[in-house]
Amino acid sequence: MLQELYQEIILDHYAHPRNRGRLEGAEVVVEGVNPSCGDEISLFARVRDGVVEEVRFEGKGCSISQASASMMTEAVRGKTLAAVRELVDRFRRMMHGEPPDEEALGELVALQGVRRFPVRVKCATLAWVALERGLSEYECGRTAQVVASTEDEL
């Protein structure tokens, strides 16, 4: 039952991606790639006063990579950089096998089923790796477009 619900959430985000498109004047622009599956995303974020005000993405690839990106944009919009980092960390820990904090992760727990297919975990983490990389560059004062690969993930 729960697995079916999770599957539905993922497919809904894949079929109807939220916050899709480019963002002009974004401070954070990241090209994310997941070579193990061929997934790609372009991530754009606007940061104001330490808050991720707007975040959008474009991309192509498997349903898990694109659904995860869509879910990520909804989860981080309006959050402070510190809160986003915390969420990225929670999400990563869930994907690496820790029991999820369901209250903090909300709908994102739908992606935990992907853990059963270890080769697909990077599909789910792609958007998050790209986001984390982009925000790190931003916090270092660099706003040029950066490239992030799931192969670089620790």
Binding site for Zn ion (CB under 5 A): 37, 39, 62, 65, 123
For 30, 100, 105, 109, the CA distances from 92, given in Å and listed in that order, are 19, 10, 11, 11
The CA distance from 62 to 51, in Å, is 30
Residue 39, number of CB atoms within 10 A of its CB: 26
Residue (23 or 129) nearer to Zn ion, CB = 129
Q: Checking phi first, is residue 61 left (phi over 0); if not, alpha (psi -120 to 50) or beta?
A: left
Least Å distance between CB 61 and Zn ion?
A: 5
Angle at 58 between CA 53 and CA 60, to 5 degrees: 150
Residue (47 or 131) nearer to Zn ion, CB = 131
Least Å distance between CB 54 and Zn ion?
A: 25
Least Å distance between CB 41 and Zn ion?
A: 11
Least Å distance between CB 38 and Zn ion?
A: 7
Residue (65 or 112) nearer to Zn ion, CB = 65
Least Å distance between CB 130 and Zn ion?
A: 14
* Strand intervals (E) in the chain: 28-34, 39-48, 51-60, 146-149
Residue (28 or 41) nearer to Zn ion, CB = 41
Residue (73 or 150) nearer to Zn ion, CB = 150
